A and B are shown apart, each in its own frame.
Chain A
Amino acid sequence: MQPQETKYPQRTLKVLIVDDEVAYVDVLRRRMQKRNVIVETANSGSEAIRKLRESSFDIAIIDLKMEDMSGIEVLKIFKKMDPDMPVIMITGHGSEEAAQNGITCGAYDYLMKPCDFETLMEKINKAVLNKRG
């Protein structure tokens, strides 16, 4: 039995989640995999860059605040490596300014932690559909 709350794109999605909060990345991975999404995770900026170099993704979700580099830096590098890939920023800082800063740097959207999982999935789908459409 599959959750039917959202409509998914025809092809299987491939998502890269970047956050140094291991438990959070893990639970997101589990929930997405349950919805037939292929999930790659990275717990640091450098790991994320390596993963993107190795393969391509439909979308990336990046935390704003990480230990080795900031989400904005990762976003900028991602935009250089794959300008077409949409990126959604998530932040626990509650500062909308920083998140909005992400949008000016090319992010598709942002979400404040803790966010509703369904909202996140909606934004992912919208972003991917936009890109394809």
Chain B
Amino acid sequence: MHEPRYYTQLRNRIFLIIVSTSLIPVIFIAMVTGYMFHTSYKAKIVGYLSELIQKHAQSIDSFLANSVSTVTMITLSNDAKKLQDPDHLSNIISVLQTSHGGVFVDIGFIREDGIQVAYAGPFKLGMAFYGNSEWFREAIKNPYSISDVFLGLRGLPHFVIAVRLEDEDRIWVLRSTIDFAYFTKIVENIKIGETGEAFILSKDGNLQTSLNSPYSKDLLKSIATVVFSDSLGREREGYPIGDIYHTNPKHSYDKPVTLETRKTTYVFKKEDASGRSIIYVAVPLRMNNWALVYRQWDSEVFMDIYKARSIVFSVIVISIFLLTGLGWRLSNRVVERIKQVDREKDAMNDQIIEAGKLAALGELAAGIAHEINNPVAIMVEEAGWIEDCLRDLPDKEMEIYKEIAKSAKQIKTQGARCREITHKLLTFARRSDTLERRVFLNTLLNEIAILCEQRARYAKVKIEKKFDEEIPAVAISPTEMQQVILNLINNAIDAMETQCGGVLTLSTKFINDWVVLEVSDTGPGIPKSILPRIFDPFFTTKPVGKGTGLGLSICYGIIKKAGGNIEVESEVGKGTTFRIWLPPVQPPNSLIVGASPEDLSSIKMRN
């Protein structure tokens, strides 16, 4: 067993390995697929928005183009003289208003010096002077023009469409005011979601329609800069959304989205004053130096992406929790198992050390026995020599002769006793002897019973022997068989010792061509619940340090190796019987060959 710290570190290491190997792929896959989904979906939404705004820009363009052509039509179908007549203009404006709804508010005819010579409309603007107005300077220069929104003389935001006319050797300008509310309605006709809103910006960043969302002049200016600065590399403010342009070169910032109208769409993200990200989609309008701008909250535009992202995120969080818990449990179990194996290994080591001790002891005993055998042999032979010499004496009736003869005999007897002891010691010391031999169980049992007698007496256990004298020999290592029998006898004595004695019965039988050896005790018995486990290695009922739990499993191994079987019968309160079945050395049939009639009769009796 190692220190507890070792197991803690081991568990932590296993835990880390499990968690990292299982989590890294999950996170990696989530990140990769999340990123791919994110970029492709973003590109799609941006594409969709761009197209929408393009279409809207086209309709605004066509509205303006229509308005211009309507005014142009008037200049073509009326000469300057007619147009100088306010009544005629009144007729025209009423026709326009009926045919175009409320688009055209008023109409005025202006001389090249900027004096409005005729006017028809709701305001009193007759003979007004426009010579200093910027829109007029533009109108004089161009065949037609659309002005930016301005307050003008009437003090209301509006813009005019002006068409140049050359007649009576003079230059005239026919202008009509577009209804600002109407135009704003057209522009705002693209509301998407909660926060989508469209507006028009002039080149210098002035609003041409109304804008409900909060804004600043600087913001509008910067948007205008993005749209109207030369696309050939002049630095623009703002930045494209995410990296979507990089994944698709067609949509790169340097080559902005172009649709069939060949117009450039600018898509970019800016933060407003409160820090909220807002997506801007801007398209220049063809008819003027205006840009249609659409704005919507980033969070609304990409709502689905953010939803998906939060789902992926929660899945990852859940799997992190699950895998962490799983890893923790698994690593704990693995370490518990390792601990158990280590404990078993330690027990095994103890057993090996014990075995080594016994082997050393055996070797020592063998050495001593050998050393004693020689002197004892000499003593016995010398006693024999004394007897030899005594035989030469003439008078054998002398008292001294008898005494010496008796003494010599005693020496020989005691020598034989020494021989018994040393031989037994040597037999028991040879633990490593696993060679199979013909073993007569009765003889072996007798020898072992003598060995155990002393212990049995102390434990108040009576040993009874019921031997079948005619059992054949079995093929097994005598040392191992001795170990098995000793183990069973010791267990039996241990069991009976706890209840102050009992009877230990050793019996041999010959049943169905098997030699059967039984070791029975009248001990407390083994409970049924643990009976199936008693041959398991390391299973012990003895207190810690008393038993290794290996005894019976070693017995089991030895008997199985010899081709036999060992079984147990036990009843609580009555006692336990271990029964060993071993095959005889020769099959009974071959025994009959050359057997004496006595033998045959005994075999018949058995069968």
Number of A-B pairs, beta carbon distance below 8 Å: 70
Q: Residues of B contacting A65 with CB < 8 Å?
A: 370
Which residues of A, 1-60, contact B by the 8 Å Cβ criterion? 1, 3, 21, 23-24, 27-28, 30-31, 34
CB distance from A113 to the nearest CB of B (A): 4
CB distance from B586 to the nearest CB of A (A): 21
* Of A3, A21, A94, A117, the contact of B426 (CB 8 Å cutoff): A94
Query: Is B391 interfacial (CB 8 A cutoff)?
Result: yes
Interface centre among A21, A24, A112, A114 (most CB of B within 10 A): A114
- A31 & B377 in contact (Cβ 8 Å cutoff): no
CA distance A99 to B307 in the complex (A): 93
Query: Is A77 interfacial (CB 8 A cutoff)?
Result: no
CA distance A27 to B220 in the complex (A): 134
Interface string of B400-432 (1 = CB under 8 A from A): 000000000000000110110011011100100
CB distance from A104 to the nearest CB of B (A): 14
Which residues of B, 340-390, contact A by the 8 Å Cβ criterion? 366, 369-370, 373-374, 376-382, 384-385, 388
- B391 & A114 in contact (Cβ 8 Å cutoff): no
Interface centre among A27, A34, A94, A95 (most CB of B within 10 A): A94
Query: Is B392 interfacial (CB 8 A cutoff)?
Result: yes
- B373 & A24 in contact (Cβ 8 Å cutoff): no
- A21 & B378 in contact (Cβ 8 Å cutoff): yes
* Of B369, B382, B388, the contact of A94 (CB 8 Å cutoff): B369
- A31 & B370 in contact (Cβ 8 Å cutoff): no
* Of B373, B379, B380, the contact of A92 (CB 8 Å cutoff): B373
CA distance A112 to B427 in the complex (A): 13
CA distance A121 to B83 in the complex (A): 169
- A117 & B384 in contact (Cβ 8 Å cutoff): yes
- B430 & A31 in contact (Cβ 8 Å cutoff): no
CA distance A34 to B390 in the complex (A): 12
Residue of A nearest to B437 (CB): A96
CA distance A65 to B371 in the complex (A): 11
- A24 & B427 in contact (Cβ 8 Å cutoff): no
Interface of B, secondary structure class, is: helix
Contact of A27 with B373 at beta-carbon distance under 8 Å, contacts A1-B391, A112-B423, A114-B380 already known:
no
Size bin of chain A's contact surface: 20 to 34
CA distance A34 to B435 in the complex (A): 43
Query: Is A115 interfacial (CB 8 A cutoff)?
Result: yes
Contact of A3 with B377 at beta-carbon distance under 8 Å, contacts A27-B382, A93-B426, A94-B369 already known:
no
CA distance A24 to B382 in the complex (A): 9
CB distance from A8 to the nearest CB of B (A): 15
Q: Residues of A contacting B425 with CB < 8 Å?
A: 94
CA distance A42 to B565 in the complex (A): 53
CB distance from B383 to the nearest CB of A (A): 9
CA distance A92 to B378 in the complex (A): 11
CA distance A21 to B377 in the complex (A): 10
CB distance from B414 to the nearest CB of A (A): 11
Interface centre among B388, B391, B426, B433 (most CB of A within 10 A): B388
CB distance from A34 to the nearest CB of B (A): 5
Which residues of A, 53-111, contact B by the 8 Å Cβ criterion? 65, 92-95, 97
CB distance from B266 to the nearest CB of A (A): 104
CA distance A112 to B377 in the complex (A): 10
Contact of A114 with B418 at beta-carbon distance under 8 Å, contacts A21-B378, A94-B366 already known:
yes
CA distance A113 to B423 in the complex (A): 9
* Of A24, A31, A95, the contact of B374 (CB 8 Å cutoff): A24
Q: Please name 17 pairs of A and B residues whose Cβ atoms are closer than 8 Å in the assembled complex, sorted by A.
A: A1-B391, A3-B388, A21-B378, A24-B374, A24-B378, A27-B384, A27-B385, A28-B381, A31-B381, A31-B385, A93-B369, A93-B370, A95-B430, A97-B433, A112-B419, A113-B374, A113-B377
On B, residues with C-beta under 8 Å from A are 366, 369-370, 373-374, 376-382, 384-385, 388, 391-392, 415-416, 418-419, 422-423, 425-427, 430, 433, 435
On A, residues with C-beta under 8 Å from B are 1, 3, 21, 23-24, 27-28, 30-31, 34, 65, 92-95, 97, 112-115, 117
Contacts A94-B366, A114-B415 known; list 5 others, CB within 8 Å. A93-B366, A93-B426, A94-B423, A113-B374, A117-B380
